[in-house]
Structure 1
Amino acid sequence: MTEGDPLKDRARGCLLGLAAGDALGAPAENLTPAEIRRRWGRLTEIEGGGTDDTEYAIFAASLLIRHGHGLTPADVARAYREEIIPLIAGPMRGAGFSELGTIEALRRGLEPPLTGLVHSHGWSDGLAMRAAPYGIFCPGDPAEAARLVEQDGLVSGSGEGILGGRAIAGAVAAAMGGATPREVVRAALSVIPQDSWTARDIVRACAAVGWDPSGDDAGATGTLTEARQEALTEALHEAVVVRHYPWTDIAPEAVALALAAFLVGDGDVEASVTFGVSLGRDADTIGAIAGAVAGALRGEGGVPERWAARIGPVTGKCLPVVAGKHVLDVAGELAEGL
């Protein structure tokens, strides 16, 4: 634990867990569970750097550091125009569809919420992947975390994409406040409509791993043997995976799979992340979300040392404006004054 400051410790654990999950899952992005097993057996070691998940989370944190609880969609749009767009010298490698579409909308002179509506990718998990800083900023207050992340989301997303971000911001806020793993998932559900696609997918994913969020706390436990992992993977894919769409960055799906992985791992960072990335699909985002939520719960010490040692300053390969920043430094700035 960070000496004398449990919230700073959770903040550091959250963003370090996010970066580790992003990096661990990156090689498995868009693969099937069978392909992952064939290539690696189980992915347990970080091979390279992270992706847009980590860089966008750092960018989101910078918005909060500057604007705090007064953040507005206009602030976010201005930051895109002044800090992201001028530094784009070529293709934005690894950037999500929703963010690419938003940049084009801003270049055309549109303003939010139209910037999140015109590109037809508002349902993407681009907001969910960067929602963790909003939860860090609102420890124990899922509703305020969800409100804040929506200010960001209105610039680049709409509908279920925004709800996915609200769910993860709420989950991280609950974890920052010391909630149990199941209380964390209930917090995610508490800040989104229960008849939404995202909420239904979270409930279905919970059922697939043996727990009913509307009931008691029985279920969703047990040793994660290889046979059980394969059975849970199949059940989760059957419950929430969209098989008829060619892309994997679907917010309701990624959010549900990440929270299920967090439950299966009982909030342990390594167990949650390794199971999350084994699910394939948008594996870097699933790993990043699971790592962020678990890291907020367990703190910096919950992130395996061998993973933490592999996390360096980001390169800015997707967002040049954040090049050279380290998630631990950003976490410390976010946690000041909490």
Structure 2
Amino acid sequence: MTALDRALGAFYGLALGDALGMPTQSLNRETIKQRFGQITDLQDAGPLQPIAANMPKGSITDDTEQAILVGELLVEGKGRIEPAVLAQRLIEWEAEMQAKGSQDLLGPSTKRAIEMILAGHSPEEAGRYGTTNGAAMRITPVGIAADVADPERFIAAVVQACQVTHNTTLGISSAAAVAAVVSAGINGLDLGEALNLGQQIAQQAEAHGHWVAGGRIASRISWARSISVESDPVLLADLLYDVIGTSVASQESVVVSFALAQQVAVGEMTPFDALCMAASLGGDTDTIAAILGAMLGACLGLQSWPAAMIETVKTVNDLELEPLVQGLLALR
């Protein structure tokens, strides 16, 4: 399997997870069970979806769109992201979404940071309250472009991509964990080894950003990976939803993605089944499934995803990620 195959697996895995979770995002588990049963395929959003009403099945959301935006900035900047430019692009992106009538707008941390930048604060200051999963959801291109074999440079690249919106211990360490798994997968590490490295890099990355109270990302990942439910998917889903939590808080949603990736690593689930569980959990389903898809795809390659579904996602969203992914790999 080539690095390109793994990088495409990561980016299209992110898009597929995002699309699977699109119709269920922001709903609770009971509502998802009533409307969809279990998610096992791409579904239309329907009129009652609070964020993505009536979006057709296979549609991506802010997770994939903002990851593409970060990827394009990396290629334009030859591996460097200027925080002020990222802020400007995110402002433009939200304006486009509003013009389309979409409710899928900037998350709470990103919104607050951009308001601070517009009010004249520095990028470093603007991100000091960002603890949610917005940085982790759009960090995959950094994992493709930067090599985790040089941890210091790698973490610096992650910090640069996070700083303007998520300049906190939680925001940076959760994004670093995800990016490290993607980067390790592209280097050919198997999924278990890549998850170990993600945990280690999360711990090192905690030295950056403003300290924020909240469960430590590396410690929570370590604990979540130790969950054993004897092949009982219902019990697993209960634990993830009730005990870890599926909110936009990075110490919940990002940790749930690692818990599910671990189930794939130990052979309890197929990659696609894990994405379907992520999309069925409730809460921030599109982001949990998008992050999970990126990590699994990087380690297991593009062929781990159902080809027909990837085609649907490409067609519905007019998505052609190959040139962008090749540009990111060239930076690596």
**Which category describes the TM-score, using the shorter chain as reference length?**
0.7 to 0.9
Q: 2-side partners of 1:273 and 1:22: how far apart?
A: 9
Identity %: 28
Q: Kindly indicate whether the alpha-carbon contact (under 8 Å) linking 2:241 and 2:282 is maintained by their aligned counterparts in 1.
A: no
Alignment of 1:195-234 (within 5 A): 197-209=216-228, 228-234=232-238
Cα displacement (A) at 1:298: 1.6
Alignment of 1:177-192 (within 5 A): 177-192=187-202
Q: 2-side partners of 1:165 and 1:24: how far apart?
A: 21
Cα displacement (A) at 1:140: 5.0
Q: Kindly indicate whether the alpha-carbon contact (under 8 Å) linking 1:12 and 1:328 is maintained by their aligned counterparts in 2.
A: yes
Residue 155 (1) aligns with residue 159 (2): no
Aligned counterpart, 1:107: 118
Find the partner of 1:285 among 274, 284, 287: 287
Q: Kindly indicate whether the alpha-carbon contact (under 8 Å) linking 1:265 and 1:275 is maintained by their aligned counterparts in 2.
A: no
Q: Kindly indicate whether the alpha-carbon contact (under 8 Å) linking 1:8 and 1:331 is maintained by their aligned counterparts in 2.
A: yes
Cα displacement (A) at 1:135: 1.0
Cα displacement (A) at 1:313: 6.9
Q: 2-side partners of 1:32 and 1:207: how far apart?
A: 25
Per-residue CA deviation, residues 101-138 of structure 1 (Å, 9 max, x unaligned), is 22212211222211112xx4x11100000111111113
Q: 1-side partners of 2:190 and 2:33: how far apart?
A: 31
Report the TM-score, using the length of structure 2 for normalisation: 0.82
Aligned counterpart, 2:276: 274
Cα displacement (A) at 1:325: 5.4
Q: Secondary structure of the residue that 2:27 maps to in structure 1? A: coil
Q: Secondary structure of the residue that 2:314 maps to in structure 1? A: coil
Cα displacement (A) at 1:40: 1.9
Q: Kindly indicate whether the alpha-carbon contact (under 8 Å) linking 1:9 and 1:299 is maintained by their aligned counterparts in 2.
A: yes
Aligned counterpart, 1:259: 258
Q: 1-side partners of 2:282 and 2:150: how far apart?
A: 28
Q: Point out the more displaced range, 285-294 or 59-68.
A: 59-68
Q: 1-side partners of 2:172 and 2:250: how far apart?
A: 9
Q: Kindly indicate whether the alpha-carbon contact (under 8 Å) linking 1:60 and 1:130 is maintained by their aligned counterparts in 2.
A: yes
Q: Kindly indicate whether the alpha-carbon contact (under 8 Å) linking 1:141 and 1:170 is maintained by their aligned counterparts in 2.
A: no
Q: 2-side partners of 1:314 and 1:52: how far apart?
A: 15
Q: 1-side partners of 2:109 and 2:198: how far apart?
A: 22
Cα displacement (A) at 1:22: 0.4
Q: Kindly indicate whether the alpha-carbon contact (under 8 Å) linking 1:14 and 1:291 is maintained by their aligned counterparts in 2.
A: yes
Amino acid across the alignment from 2:241:
H
Find the partner of 1:80 among 81, 87, 93: 87
Aligned counterpart, 2:304: 302
Find the partner of 1:132 among 131, 140, 154: 140
Report the TM-score, using the length of structure 1 for normalisation: 0.80
Q: Secondary structure of the residue that 1:191 maps to in structure 2? A: helix
Q: Secondary structure of the residue that 1:208 maps to in structure 2? A: coil
Q: Kindly indicate whether the alpha-carbon contact (under 8 Å) linking 1:140 and 1:178 is maintained by their aligned counterparts in 2.
A: no
Aligned counterpart, 1:56: 66
**Structure (1 or 2) with the greater helix fraction:** 2
Q: Secondary structure of the residue that 2:188 maps to in structure 1? A: coil
Task: Give the RMSD, CA atoms, in angstroms.
Answer: 2.5
Find the partner of 1:167 among 141, 165, 177: 177
With over 3 angstroms needed to count, the CA separation of the structure-2 counterparts of 1:45 and 1:325, relative to structure 1, is closer
Residue 330 (1) aligns with residue 324 (2): yes
Q: 2-side partners of 1:255 and 1:238: how far apart?
A: 15
Q: Kindly indicate whether the alpha-carbon contact (under 8 Å) linking 1:131 and 1:165 is maintained by their aligned counterparts in 2.
A: yes
Q: Kindly indicate whether the alpha-carbon contact (under 8 Å) linking 1:204 and 1:240 is maintained by their aligned counterparts in 2.
A: no
Per-residue CA deviation, residues 294-318 of structure 1 (Å, 9 max, x unaligned), is 1111212221112201213786xxx
Per-residue CA deviation, residues 231-265 of structure 1 (Å, 9 max, x unaligned), is 111223344227xxxxx211111111011111212
Q: Kindly indicate whether the alpha-carbon contact (under 8 Å) linking 1:276 and 1:287 is maintained by their aligned counterparts in 2.
A: yes
Amino acid across the alignment from 1:301:
Q
Q: Kindly indicate whether the alpha-carbon contact (under 8 Å) linking 2:313 and 2:319 is maintained by their aligned counterparts in 1.
A: no
Cα displacement (A) at 1:90: 7.6
Aligned counterpart, 2:107: 96
Q: Kindly indicate whether the alpha-carbon contact (under 8 Å) linking 1:208 and 1:239 is maintained by their aligned counterparts in 2.
A: no
With over 3 angstroms needed to count, the CA separation of the structure-2 counterparts of 1:108 and 1:140, relative to structure 1, is closer
Cα displacement (A) at 1:39: 2.3
Amino acid across the alignment from 2:274:
S
Q: Kindly indicate whether the alpha-carbon contact (under 8 Å) linking 1:56 and 1:130 is maintained by their aligned counterparts in 2.
A: yes
Q: Secondary structure of the residue that 2:63 maps to in structure 1? A: helix
Q: Kindly indicate whether the alpha-carbon contact (under 8 Å) linking 1:14 and 1:300 is maintained by their aligned counterparts in 2.
A: yes
Aligned counterpart, 1:321: none
Cα displacement (A) at 1:93: 3.3
Aligned counterpart, 2:131: 123
Q: 2-side partners of 1:232 and 1:262: how far apart?
A: 13
Amino acid across the alignment from 1:304:
P
